[in-house]
Chains A and B, each alone.
Chain A
Amino acid sequence: METQIFLCCILGGIVCADSEAAWQVMISQPLVACALAGIILGNPGLGLMTGALLQLPFLSEVPAGGAKISESQLGCLVAAMLIVSNHNAYHNFNNQLWIISVLYGALLSRVGAPMRNQLRKINFRFIQRFPLTDTRKISQRLTLLTLFGLSMSLLFGFMFVLIAFPIGNLLVQLIAKLNISNADRFFALAKPLLLGIGFGVFLKIIATGKRITIALATFALTTTAIVLF
């Protein structure tokens, strides 16, 4: 288990770097990151399903123009890790575990945002410490600064997961002791609720008068086709 957690921490570093500092090839998106966490922790299907449900609500958060956005990707990753790693241990408690983990992930996203802000300030202090204007080794300095920024991002993601995951695990174990599994079937509604929120966000992103008409027409046509065939 320790190796798996360590691998997930590395994944956290990669997710953090991919979300801003490097690549930006969308590995950091919940759909991909949670699926990878699922593979590492031995339940790829559950990781993927968690990622799929968490992907759409956060679509509206874009890092355009250096906007201050929440650290939702890392929050989602930790939530998926909690869900997958505790799935077998609490099988009467799965839907509740799902809600608690996602809530914890949402809380982490809020905490992560000011930390990201600090990271940007550290970058600036490092640049001031190694000025570029008066140096002859400008090429090497540029590489050094880039490597520093990348390393800080990787380290931030790694530490974030390393600290957040055990705390989340403790929280889950604590709540599981309350033994409130009777309502677990009711809690299954959290998944359609979250999917609905995601669909609502997507609809708002694409929504203009004409686009909604197109969407409604496609909905009617597809429904008719399903009913007929």
Chain B
Amino acid sequence: MKHLQVFHRTFFIQAIWTYEKMLSIGFAYCLAPLAEKLFPEPEQWKKFLRKNLDFFNTHPYMAGWIIGSICKIEQDATISGDAVQPDRLKKRMSEILGGIGDNLFWNSLKPATAFLGVITALSFEFWGVVAFLTTFNIPHFYHRFAGISKGYRLGFEITKILSPKRFDTIIKRISIASSVLFGGACAILLQNNMMDNLQSKLIFFIGLMAGYIALAKHISMQRLITVALSALLLYGLLLV
């Protein structure tokens, strides 16, 4: 039951995000229900929460792994009376999971699922939204929930199952699927109503090259869109 409460709270882990503390307040907010359950004395769990208010940053979807494992480690230490250092695990895992989360969700899954959504939306309208939200959120919800329960079960052992190498395979597969999707989508799109003449096809290709080069040269998309659309607008007005 407490796991569900923590799962619910992880959705607000970034609510009070600051440059100075990053996710630390949200992290302690998520720990609170488990801490109250794990430590019998109120002073104990309050001390535990205060200890976890230092700087903390990781990928928000992956934070559950650390929340679960930290609680397990602290609980075991309280029972056995041993002195443990969960801070080192917290610091190390937050860096590793931050990298994994950014690569898996922001750099691979989000572009792939958004592209799938857009392509589906161009042909099947609202099914595109459904496709995007479903394909993105199933792994997202899985990591949020499984992170807490598996992290709590495994404690220190999470370092063994959360190696970046394991996720590299998944990222590689998503990347291959994205390439197949891209090739297929380009072929289908060129037959679409929006591309019914040579002029449209040509301008699509110019846009494609511009988007590719702009990202390679780190030009912001706002700037590119502003320049491209303003140029089109001015050229059109000159034609009148």
Contacts and interface: CB of A to CB of B under 8 A. Distances in A.
Which 10 A-B pairs have CB atoms at the shortest separation, nearest pair first?
A196-B207, A200-B211, A218-B183, A149-B16, A222-B187, A149-B15, A62-B106, A197-B211, A219-B183, A200-B212
B84 interface: no
A197 B210 contact: yes
Nearest to A126: B16
Nearest to B218: A60
29 contacts: A21-B17, A22-B11, A26-B132, A48-B125, A63-B106, A64-B102, A96-B233, A103-B225, A103-B229, A120-B19, A136-B46, A139-B49, A146-B16, A149-B15, A183-B236, A183-B239, A186-B236, A187-B236, A192-B201, A193-B207, A195-B204, A197-B207, A202-B111, A204-B212, A205-B178, A206-B182, A219-B186, A219-B187, A222-B188
Contact of B215 (A126, A139, A200, A216): A200
Nearest to A142: B29
B221 A211 contact: no
Interface string B153-192: 0000000000000000000000110111111111111110
B220 to A, nearest CB: 7
B50 A133 contact: yes
Interface of A: 20-26, 29, 31-32, 35, 44-45, 48-49, 51-52, 55-66, 70, 72, 75, 96, 99-100, 102-103, 106-107, 109-110, 120-121, 123-124, 126-127, 132-133, 136, 138-139, 142-143, 145-150, 153, 180, 182-183, 186-208, 211-212, 214-223, 226
Contacts of B32: 139, 142
B195 to A, nearest CB: 6
Contacts of A208: 175
A21 B181 CA distance: 32
B28 interface: yes
B64 interface: no
Given A32-B132, A214-B179, A25 B140 contact: yes
What interface size band does chain B fall in? 35 or more
B80 interface: no
Interface of B: 11-12, 14-22, 25-26, 28-29, 32, 36, 46, 49-50, 53, 57, 60-61, 98, 102, 106-107, 110-111, 114-115, 117-118, 121-122, 125-126, 128-129, 132-133, 136-137, 140, 175-176, 178-191, 194-195, 199-201, 203-216, 220-222, 224-226, 228-230, 232-233, 235-237, 239-240
Given A70-B222, A103-B229, A182-B240, 17 more contacts: A22-B11, A24-B61, A25-B133, A31-B128, A120-B18, A132-B50, A149-B16, A187-B236, A194-B229, A199-B182, A199-B204, A200-B211, A203-B212, A214-B183, A218-B179, A221-B183, A222-B183
A188 B190 CA distance: 16
Contacts of B114: 29, 31, 55-56, 59
Given A48-B128, A110-B222, A201-B215, A123 B16 contact: yes
Contact of A218 (B182, B190, B222): B182
B224 A55 contact: no
B171 to A, nearest CB: 11
Given A142-B49, A206-B182, A56 B118 contact: yes
A171 to B, nearest CB: 13
B18 to A, nearest CB: 4
Contacts of A194: 207, 225, 228-229
B211 A31 contact: no
Contact of B49 (A138, A192, A196): A138
Contact of A215 (B183, B204, B221, B229): B183
